[in-house]
Amino acid sequence: MNGSVAWRAALVQGLAVAASSVVLALALPRSFFEDYGWAAGPGVWALCALLTAAVLRLRALPVLAGAALAGVPSLITVLLGAHWAGVPVAVGIFALWCGWLADSRGRVAVA
């Protein structure tokens, strides 16, 4: 596993998710999240993962697969009523996945 990529993935994903959450919370009413949070959350998570892939020059599809797997703990905490409790765990799992991808030649060659 590439530890440097894992740490950078955690930083990029964590900041992207936090920034997106703040922007959406300020822009949309609470009722939007009550009605459509089930789609908005995973959608924003996936978009943030694509941003992370681009910044770290990792292939998009494997990164999205890792984002989906890493989102499972967050989904479990949502179902238990503690939505944000799973986000740090999900970011950590996602970061480890990205580090593994980079180590297994998942990086795109720099032109």
In-domain check, residue 108: no
In-domain check, residue 90: yes
pTM of the predicted structure, to 2 decimals: 0.86
In-domain check, residue 68: yes
In-domain check, residue 57: yes
Closest CA to 70 of 86, 81, 85, 58: 86
Contact 108, 9 (CB under 8 A): no
**Structural domain span for residue 85:** 3-103
In-domain check, residue 66: yes
In-domain check, residue 110: no
- pLDDT tens column, 37-66: 888 889 999 999 999 999 999 999 999 999
Q: Count how many Cα atoms sit within 13 Å of the Cα of residue 50 in the half-sphere of its side chain.
A: 6
Number of residues assigned to the chain = 111
Number of domains in the chain: 1
In-domain check, residue 109: no
- pLDDT tens column, 86-95: 899 999 999 9
